[in-house]
Structure 1
Amino acid sequence: MANVTFSSPRMAKDITVYAVAGDRGTVLAVAKQHKIPIPFDCQDGNCGSCVVEVVHLNAPTKYSKYGIALTEEEKETLRQIGKISKDEVYEAEVNDMAPRHRLACQCFVRNEDILVRFEGDETLPAQAPHITHAAQIFKGGIRIASVDEFLGYAVKIEEDAAAHFYGLAEDMKACGNDDVAKLFYQLAGFSRQHLKEAKERATALDAEVVVPPAYVWPDQVTPERTSLMAADPSLSRLDALNAAILGERRGYEFYLALAGTTHNAEVTALAKAFAREEKEHLEILEASITRERWTLAHPDMPALD
């Protein structure tokens, strides 16, 4: 039996599974069996999409020569994607030393414990964002009757979010918390882009954007605002991400709720379009939170490349 530990910023924690040595099972096959999200495509060693780093835990050095079985196809693919050096090719061919990177579909599990690290595509999370019951509550009984009315709400949400995140970014920068400031500048950029799209849609439809008053929102606060109101030099990036994602999720759910309650087909289509864009922002934040947790849990590991 061999212990195979999978580690990735795409997963909330490392996962260790048992694999039967000698059954000709590949690392990718083991990953698929246990629903580990290693990206893959051709499964023939030609595309390079399933590249991983394999650390041999039982060996004197972390890149063991034990059971290397590196084929010409795998070497060529690793060359093409820049994941194997000339020195590693030499060591593989002359001394049977395994290179740092392997293709999961070509690397067979042997009678040894290994750590398999992989990056994955953070823009494509395995699951859709979670929907809470807060959507109906935060919507506050609003039922949009026209495209003009919908765009007014969208403009107000994005204006408020852009100003909120930009203000937080400036405050964080002023107190020296540059890492968190960078995150909030990015979120402000998302909202400004969405605001621009809302105004462009209004212009194209010759709609008059009438921004709704503050009292129509529960607690007079638009959905995407976070609970953070002032700079905190001790605020960590993970704390900021966790606060920000609550606002992004409310914005996503708000648009979905509008789409589900309006009787206007045009409003439904627009609300779903805005929800899709909010979903993309939400997925980026979810992936960033997973990556940040992984980084904090592995302070001694080098960055994935």
Structure 2
Amino acid sequence: MANVTFSSPVMSKDVTVYAVAGDRGTLLAVAKAHKIPIPFDCQDGECGSCLVEVQHLSRNKYAIALTEKEKELLKQLGKITKAEVTDAEVNDMPPHYRLACQYFVRNEEILVTFEGDQTLPPQGPHITHAASRYTGGIKIGSVDEFLGYAVKVEEDAAVHYEQLAAAMDDCGNERAAALFRQLGGFSRLHLAEAKSRAGSIDVTKHVPPDYVWPDHTTPERASVWAADPSLSRLDALKAALQGERRGYEFYCAAAATTNTPEVAAMAKEFVKEEAEHVKILEAWVTREEWDMKHSPVGGSA
């Protein structure tokens, strides 16, 4: 079986597919079968639109057969050197860049990255439909009120991540501690941005009490089980992802339910930023799951 992971800034998360080596022909054919948005035009190695970068993750690297069309076009694009051509032809060493329409999938594990069609809007994060139905009776009527909510959300998230980092340090889980510190830093940056937008507004007058939130807690606080001393890095990532998704859903709902255009516009800006956080964490979760699955020792905490 060929284990192919696709990654691109136009995708909401990395996608790993399992294809029978050679069964579906080219890498482009595999991508199309799984709705992976690799751009393509001629599909005959002449236009270069399906350019991808291929990283070989398995130890075994199979003989590489570069067609003359592919070699010539990669040269024209400046994506292959003379040394790489020689390595491919003489030493069976694969070059970094390939044309998806010319690359035949083999029995190996590869990571395929591509830029994607920049004329298309990027995909949003992998979120449930709860984003448009976030409950708790919250309907924001003014920019001041929205900024009060935003400050509370981001401050709670930052403090919570920092507390989790300290807890992980105390129990010797350095990897999880480092992760939570990094996420706390993200929230601090977002908090500073919210305060900057507030300017001279006293947002403390608009910070909502705990009882107005679903479950009596702000949406970006990670799950309570994230403080488990035996927490693995993957568990920490999943807990953080759950919190970030809730934050994303809250801002989506704020934009959808308000009757104030200014609030809707500002909430949509926060939606975009939260979407980036979600996409980062989804990519980290995918990478960690892949590493744990393929690690000789089965991954580490």
- Same-fold call, TM cutoff 0.5: yes
The match for 1:207 is 201
Q: C-alpha offsets along residues 96-138 of structure 1, whole Å, 9 cap, x if unaligned?
A: 73525450336343xx844361243699985533134376454
Q: Take 1:240 and 1:119, find their aligned partners in 2: how far apart are those partners?
A: 26
The match for 2:147 is 151
The match for 1:51 is 53
Change (3 A) 1:117 1:77: farther
Matching residue within 13, 17, 27 for 1:14:
17
Q: What are the ranges of 5 or more consecutive residues in structure 2 without an aligned counterpart?
A: 8-12, 297-301
The match for 2:111 is 118
Aligned-pair CA distance for 1:219:
3.2
Q: What are the ranges of 5 or more consecutive residues in structure 1 without an aligned counterpart?
A: 301-305
Task: Give the SS at the match of 1:6.
Answer: strand
Q: Percent identity over the alignment?
A: 43
Change (3 A) 1:262 1:282: same
Q: Take 1:171 and 1:263, find their aligned partners in 2: how far apart are those partners?
A: 42
Q: Take 1:235 and 1:122, find their aligned partners in 2: how far apart are those partners?
A: 35
Q: Take 1:226 and 1:193, find their aligned partners in 2: how far apart are those partners?
A: 18
Q: Any conservation in 1 of the 2:2–2:19 contact (CA below 8 Å)?
A: yes
State whether structure 2 residue 105 is matched by structure 1 residue 103: no
Q: Take 2:269 and 2:226, find their aligned partners in 1: how far apart are those partners?
A: 32
Task: Give the SS at the match of 1:14.
Answer: strand
Match of 1:214, as an amino acid? Answer: D
Matching residue within 214, 217, 230 for 2:213:
217
**When the two structures are superposed, what TM-score results if normalisation uses the length of structure 2?**
0.77
Aligned-pair CA distance for 1:270:
1.1
Match of 1:14, as an amino acid? Answer: V
Q: Take 1:179 and 1:117, find their aligned partners in 2: how far apart are those partners?
A: 26
Q: What is the Cα-based RMSD across aligned positions, in Å? A: 3.7
Change (3 A) 1:119 1:72: closer
Aligned-pair CA distance for 1:193:
1.1
Q: Highest relative contact order (Cα 8 Å, sep 6+), 1 or 2?
A: 1
Matching residue within 259, 262, 270 for 2:266:
270
Change (3 A) 1:296 1:208: same
Q: Aligned pair count?
A: 282
The match for 1:63 is 62
More displaced 10-residue stretch of structure 1: 220-229 or 185-194: 220-229
The match for 2:299 is none
Residues 235-254 of structure 1 mapped to structure 2, 5 A cutoff: 235-254=231-250
Q: Take 2:5 and 2:220, find their aligned partners in 1: how far apart are those partners?
A: 32
Q: Take 2:58 and 2:214, find their aligned partners in 1: how far apart are those partners?
A: 55
Change (3 A) 1:270 1:55: closer
Q: Any conservation in 2 of the 1:56–1:63 contact (CA below 8 Å)?
A: no
**When the two structures are superposed, what TM-score results if normalisation uses the length of structure 1?**
0.76
Task: Give the SS at the match of 2:262.
Answer: helix
The structure having more radius of gyration, on CA atoms, is 1
Q: Take 1:122 and 1:295, find their aligned partners in 2: how far apart are those partners?
A: 23
Task: Give the SS at the match of 1:118.
Answer: strand
